[in-house]
Amino acid sequence: MPGTLYVVATPLGNLGDLSPRAADTLKRVAVVAAEDTRHSKPLLTHAGSHAELVSLHAHSSDRALERVLRILSDGGDVALITDAGTPAISDPGVELVAHARQRGIQVVTIPGPTAVAASVSVSGIGGDRYLFLGFLPRKGSDRRRLLLTAASSEWTVVLFESPNRVTQLLADLIEVCGPERQVAVSRELTKVFEETRSGTLQELSEHYAEAPPRGEVTVVLAGTGKPRVEARPADPTERAQILLSQGMSRKDVADRLVQETGISRNTAYRLVNEL
């Protein structure tokens, strides 16, 4: 019989938040797969665990992943942990979970701390529904697209960010949301210097420009409170006429129509050739 993969949530900072069930699991398993073994060793000592620590992170080789899966297939129980919080949430652990499921290995959650829920709970911003976007790309069209998604969301949006890029993130959010949107910034949750500041984007942008934050940061952005109005799809014939008048080739116009309106490629080519 294969072993069991336990997905174990660990403290964000305060070791007192390690649940009795999580501690017991860490003591019972043969192996603990950790994002950073140096960071996790004190946690295992605190839990009284003598399990073997193996490294499994975003840059691990396929060989490292296969090693853990082989342990599970051979009947060994493995606990998956991250540096802080719940594994596989904006975390490379999702790959191990997916492969384990594909091989019929039982996956069990040992729930506990997560920065997403913790930050929303102390933000003062509604958490009935929220959209979690994790870390945004540092630049490029993907970053712009996700910023616009955050700006237009009806619901609260939760973002992760490194402390040295918080000021830039707030500036970018001001550009797409306006300066008056409500926001909360939490840092060092559950640690000695835990802090959550709330206010408008403009207020927090000015504050952190003067006093850059330290430690792990979570940003909670208020939603618009209004359903997003989807733009009406462009009329294919009108759009084709505009693009042709701009000097585009018929082939390029047809390709653009497929992308913008969702009509089939054959329909697009026929429409363009009839104009």
Quote the pLDDT of residue 231.
Answer: 56
- The pair of three-digit structure tokens given for residue 37, joined into one six-digit string: 């073994």
Alpha helices in the chain (DSSP H): 20-28, 37-47, 62-73, 94-102, 115-123, 141-152, 166-177, 201-210, 236-245, 250-261, 265-274
DSSP calls for 182-202: EEEEEESTTSTT-EEEEEEHH
Give residue 7's pLDDT band: very low, low, confident or very high (50, 70, 90).
Answer: very high
Asked if residue 132 has pLDDT above 80, the reply is yes
17 — alpha (psi -120 to 50), left (phi > 0) or beta?
alpha
DSSP class of 10: B
Task: Give percent of the chain with pLDDT exceeding 90.
Answer: 79
Model-level pTM? 0.81
- Mean of pLDDT values over 257-272: 86
Evaluate if residue 186 carries a pLDDT over 80. Answer: yes
Kindly list the structural domains of the chain, giving each domain's residue range(s) and its CATH number in brackets, ordered by start.
Answer: 4-113 (3.40.1010.10), 116-221 (3.30.950.10), 236-274 (no CATH)
* Residue of 159 and 240 predicted with greater confidence: 159
Average pLDDT over residues 39-64: 95
- pLDDT tens-place string over residues 78-95: 999 999 999 999 888 999
- pLDDT for 230: 58
**Reported confidence tier of residue 140, pLDDT bands at 50, 70, 90:** confident
Report the percentage of the chain scoring pLDDT > 70. 98
- pLDDT score at 233: 59
Phi-psi region of 250 (alpha: psi -120 to 50; beta: other; left: phi over 0): alpha
pLDDT mean over 157-182: 97
> What is the average pLDDT across 201-220?
96
Mean pLDDT of 236-251: 88
- Give the tens place of pLDDT for each residue, 58-76: 889 999 999 999 999 999 9
Determine the pLDDT at residue 92: 83
For 49, 136, 159, 190, the CA distances from 11, given in Å and listed in that order, are 16, 24, 19, 8
Cα end-to-end distance, the chain, whole Å: 67
Query: Please, what is the average pLDDT of the chain?
Result: 94
pLDDT band at residue 232 using 50, 70 and 90 as cut-offs? low
Place 227 in a pLDDT band, splitting at 50, 70 and 90: confident
Residue 136 one-letter amino acid = L
